[in-house]
Amino acid sequence: MGGETKDKATAQSSIPRYSTGPVGQQIHSIYKSRLGQFTSDGQYKSGNLMGAMYEGRATGKEHVKLSVYSPPDLSRPSFEEATAHEFKETNVGASFGPSWSTHWIRLELCVPSDLQKKEHLELHWDAGNEGLIWTVDGEPIQGLTGGERIEWVIPQSFRDGNFHTIYIEMACNGMFGNPPGGDMIQPPIKNRYFQLHLADIVAVNLEARALNIDFWIIGDAAREFPEDDWHSHEALQIENAIMDQFIAGNGSKEAIVKCREIAQHLVYAVGNCHIDTCWLWPWAETKRKIARSWSNQCDLIDRYPEHRFVASQGQQFKWLEQIYPKLYDRVKSKVKQGTFQFIGGSWVEHDTNMPSGESLVRQFLYGQRFFESHFGERCRTFWLPDTFGYSSQLPQLSRLAGMSRFFTQKLSWNNINNFPHTTFNWVSLDGSQVMCHMAPSNTYTAEAHFGDVKRSITQHKSMDQDPTSLLLFGKGDGGGGPTWEHIEKLRRCRGISDNKGRLPRVKMGDSVEDFFDRLETKVNEGTKLVTWYGELYLELHRGTYTTQANNKWNNRKTEILLHDVEYLATLATLKDCSYKYPKQDIDDMWENVLLCQFHDCLPGSAIEMCYDDSDELYKKVFDTGDKCMKEALKTLGFSRDKASKDVLTAINTTAWPRAELVKLSETITSLSPQYALVRGGPGLASVETMTSSTKNLKSIASVKEVKKGVFLMTNNQYKIEVEGGSITSLIDLSENREIVSKGEKANQLVVFDDKPLYWQAWDVEVYHLNSRKELPAGKTEISEQGPHRVSLVTETKISEESWIKTTISLAASVDDQPSYIEMASEVEWHEKWKFLKVEFPVDIVNTEASYETQYGIIRRPTHYNTTWDMAKFEVCCHKWADLSENGYGVSILNDSKYGFATCGNMMRLSLLRSPKAPDGHADMGRHHIRYAILPHAGPLDSRTVRTAYNFNHPLKIFSSSSPISTNTANLLSCITLGGSKALILDCIKRGEDDEDVSRGELPKRKGRSIIVRIYESLGGRARGTLKCTLGARKVWKCNILEDDQEEMNIEKGQVAVDLRAFEVQTFRLQL
């Protein structure tokens, strides 16, 4: 025991006993820098992967014959028209232009024998511009974009040694139009030419191309993962191993295959193509962008079974159907398969700040009806990735249009505060909510880089509720959509995710609806999403409330025109069965107005060509609306032209009685000026012409010069002192209250220096407020002396080229109607980077101001307590803005403006801007603007809402050869709304699918019906009575798509209505 010995086995080791030589530590910066050599087009190209990318190339006339037809005058002929012309020989190196011109290229391709058995052949075409490939049979098959999407896969049938013909419709613009130099928002140049520098048949080494994507994504992992993360080190080792293997195999095919074995991956995601319906190009070019982009996606769907593509905007689908019927059929077949997915439910991806409530309804009505009639389904997700802020009533209207989900990402553009949520419930003014998701990658045009995938998790702000997210990838804004490279990159990202775990797992093959369905299931199982109440205010692009003033004027006026046309046409169908409701004309008008509300058109951020287009469309709307009005009025027994013995009467198209002094037009009376006292309505109103008599007037209006340059205007409600065109005193006589702040001036014109950081037409920055400059007082003269109305006119010089002539008017007050001080301005505007506003410093104290929005009111801070408050230094309003304290307030009304600001007690209405990009002539020229001051004792209430409505809906005076019959008078007031004055009857129209109205796109309804839309306007529960004297058999409460939902009880022709705060309700009256 102890002391004995044993044989001990010697432990064996695999480590060599002797060193084979020194091994140094990798210097990561050097090895990481080395990676660029492998895929560079630089000095090592012949010995790197780029040099192995192609196995052969054929060029020149022996293999690629080129000829061209160049249409004259920037025309865009159809395939049939173009190919019927003579083509002239052309060649690589030729230049094509000028900007916006079209050139049809005929290509005759002959694949040489040495390439015919190669695995994969492509046509590589690069003229630096956009193009669309057509078959010889006239089928559009693929889009091209210079420098980005330049390849077309040559069919197997072309490999027979014969010449085969295709056509390329060349558009002389890039993806982002024709900007000069590298600044895409500058006005487009007119004389841009594009050189064709590539037209080759190329044999592609697919393994080398695939390895290039492998190397790209793994290299991103090496660069994007933190340097202290082992995943970054491992990716770097893999990249260098690939390079070493390539070198060892001398770049052979076999070596490339072995390189690929080092990197094998798979991934899934959703493709998207955002095509701005107009922006840096006109609508005509958008139509071709749609064909180019969507034909590409059909091709990718065929090549990549996991690819799913989403597209929005009913208008774009309609254009495709009209102009490219063969491609539309191809798209429709993909829709049926579920691989090409329509989304959004609206006519265009529209602005949501400035369209009226009814316009937002029609965006959904026309969008959803198009998708349902063409594809058999409605959309469930509202889709606005690029719009400049989101109205507080969108959740309610979305739900009423059958959509409970909403997608955007634009708030990631905020330039002051970071929006705090990714996935949340967005709550409307009435309490309605939609499930909202904002892509945490902060883009709707992801390039499918490793970083895009990584940011989908690192920037996700709702991880506590749900960690999933949407990644929208694909070329966008100018169209294009996903490329094969995007899909290949995502496949590699999937491999990294599966093997390493640090990258979120990306899934392709599902739809956006699948994503929201999973979220909805999770919520139903108990997950509570955070909430956001009210508007989604974009802290950027605040200048879009003002830029392109004439376009905004047209929008407001056509919205009002359509309201009146539908109202009068509805009544005309009830009076005379032979009168045909002008459904096609109304549809055409609405579609044109909705198109012009696209989020780069109405906001004013497009090039000048777009506003030439919109002016033309608006003219069509006005002309068509005028025709429809005349026909409806004729049926109802009215005329706009007065004969000597005709009786004057008026139609009040608003839903409440009115009593106003109205200035008669020269077509109605030969005496000028002459006023009429109009009383009555809804419907028919009496007209009493007034000359110098003050009979029946509660007061008269008077004006006098009390001292040189100082004028006093009065009626029985106000005493106003005016000096130099500004109001130095405004006293409410019944309240004995001064409204203008002491020592201040209301109706003071001011101009600001307006140079935003970059986006000229879009932005106004907070620092512009530091450059305030009062415009000097001009000479004031009396232009109208009463007794019905008094006016002062002042002309103010803005600069050597610009002036403004402002008329301040005060009418004699009528009955108990609110009286206001009206300003009408004529402006000649030729400024550069200036912002014109008008100020109203009022003796009111409140930390919040109120602004009309669609179907409601939004309250915003008047202070800068926090950065969230300060960010709203310029906001959007509709027909009025109000600042009130307990017992008193002041409203500012307008007839066509949308930009406003209230800072402390200073109220500012924005009038005109003068950006020079992307339209170098934006807002230059003549403008006419109306606005008014409406003081009111007591709180903000129906007086402001209704007066602003009246201010925008002038009473219409007509003539008739005999007094209007009782039947017609009763007809004009056959639908009325009683009860709470907070209730607004905003729309009367015929049912979309009535058998005597329907255009047949959806199943018809028997009989005739009338659609009535009402809303609560002040923010509290309101009850009323909807009265119909037409003998309605049934009344249905319905959604805004006019689906019956709840039958209402009718008692003596009346229906009781009960609305929540700011609720919108629609009723269908079945006659």
Which residues neighbour 7 within 8 Å (Cβ) at sequence distance 6 or greater? none
Q: What angle do CA 232, 237, 239 make, to 5 degrees?
A: 95
Query: Residue 220's Cα: distance from chain center in Å?
Result: 34
- CA 499/CA 221 separation, integer angstroms: 13
Give 173-225 as a DSSP string: SBTTB--STT-TTSPPPS---EE--EEEEEEE-HHHHHHHHHHHHHHHHHHHS
What one-character DSSP code corresponds to residue 994? B
Give 558-602 as a DSSP string: HHHHHHHHHHHHHHHHHH-TTSPP-HHHHHHHHHHHHHHTBTTTT
Q: How many CA atoms lie within 13 A of 6 on its CB side?
A: 5
Tokens of 1034: 């049934």
- CA 338/CA 1012 separation, integer angstroms: 37
**Distance (Å) of CA 23 to CA 13, 20, 26, 240:** 20, 9, 9, 16
- CA 789/CA 713 separation, integer angstroms: 10
**Letter for the amino acid at 256?**
I
Alpha helices of 225-278 — where are they, by DSSP H?
A: 230-248, 253-261
**Would strands 658-663 and 381-383 be described as parallel, antiparallel, or unpaired?**
unpaired
Which residues neighbour 266 within 8 Å (Cβ) at sequence distance 6 or greater? 491, 494, 495, 498
Query: Is the Cα dihedral 552, 555, 557, 560 positive or negative?
Result: negative
- Name the one residue in this structure whose structure tokens are 């490793």: 450
Tokens of 804: 């403004």
386 is catalytic: yes
Tokens of 346: 């609206």
- CA 751/CA 753 separation, integer angstroms: 7
In a 10 Å sphere around its CB, with 0-12 CB exposed, 13-18 middle and 19+ buried, how is residue 124 labelled? Answer: middle
- Which of 214, 299, 386, 919 is labelled catalytic? 386
CB 1033 within 8 A of CB 1010: no
**Letter for the amino acid at 590?**
W
Task: Give catalytic residue positions.
Answer: 386
